[in-house]
Amino acid sequence: MPQLIDGKKIAAEIKDELKEKVSKLKEEGIHICLAVIQVGDDPASSIYVNNKKKACAYIGIESLAYELPEETTQEELVSLVQKLNGDAKVNGILVQLPLPDHIDADAIIRTISPDKDVDGFHPESVGRLCIGAEGFVSCTPAGVIQLLKRSGIGIAGKECVVIGRSNIVGKPMSILLLRENGTVTITHSRTEDLKKVTGRADILVVAIGRPKFVTKDFVKAGAVVIDVGMHRNADNKLCGDVDFEDVKDKVSAITPVPGGVGPMTIAMLMYNCVRAAMK
Ligand code: GUN
């Protein structure tokens, strides 16, 4: 059996460290507050938002929930974000994605003050990440780095291959691996001979968004495989972008789904909120 990278346990450790930090900050009179905005009532978004609120309550961060109707206009959302930008009590602002089609999500993200951009999606945060300056880092890729580090897996000098080039996962993931001195390749739907490229990876991060896409013929023996995917199959069971059963006997370490990368996203959001308050 490979090493199972236990995201649930590592996320719990991070949340406990943050809880302690927040209680010390409280003694110094620093109170932390996250504003969470949801537009419409997409059931998956409601679950994510609820989990974020629960994590805030556990750690000792105040959460302000804005549950806005589907018909909310772009102008109304922009003016709420501007109001929260100017509210000294609010340290972090999170607008849950996806937004309804009539709202320009990029414009909303650009409205969030980079000082309160706990999702790390603002172009200034992304630019800072690219040049190695201080700034908020997108939570899922930041969580993957923590999973590797806290599982004793070295990144420096390793062949790291990322499947997927999204702004939220693939691109920031590759920059973070580079920052840790990995040798990084980004692959995507137009990559020729994908298996040949992924077969070089010491560390393979899969964020392609297709259930059980990666089988054992994509991985080198002894590789570390990180699965960012999350899907529900026909019998309502969760699975990732990696065919876990097919791959598990060939690799040295792997994240399960559920219980791998998923819990890390919220833990890193909480980390970003604490950082926002300490700025
Ligand atoms: N929707 C799915 N994941 C995320 C996330 O990490 N942040 C936000 N704002 N929306 C999401």
According to DSSP, the β-strands at 159-163 and 224-227 are: unpaired
139 CA to middle of ligand 1, Å? 9
The atom number, within ligand 1, closest to the CA of 139 reads: 6
pTM: 0.97
Helix runs in 61-203, H state only: 74-85, 105-111, 123-131, 139-150, 170-179, 194-198
Positions annotated as catalytic residues are 52, 96, 119
Distance CA 246, CA 238 (A): 16
139 lines ligand 1 (CB under 6 A): yes
Full pLDDT tens readout for the chain, 279 residues: 899 999 999 999 999 999 999 999 999 999 999 999 999 999 999 999 999 999 999 999 999 999 999 999 999 999 999 999 999 999 999 999 999 999 999 999 999 999 999 999 999 999 999 999 999 999 999 999 999 999 999 999 999 999 999 999 999 999 999 999 999 999 999 999 999 999 999 999 999 999 999 999 999 999 999 999 999 988 889 999 999 999 999 999 999 999 999 999 999 999 999 999 998
Distance CA 217, CA 67 (A): 45
169 lines ligand 1 (CB under 6 A): no
Contacts of 114 (CB under 8 A, 6+ apart): 122, 124, 125, 135, 136
Task: Give the start-end residues of each E strand in the chain.
Answer: 3-4, 33-39, 62-68, 92-95, 159-163, 183-187, 203-206, 224-227, 231-232, 238-239, 253-254
222 CA to middle of ligand 1, Å? 32
94 lines ligand 1 (CB under 6 A): yes
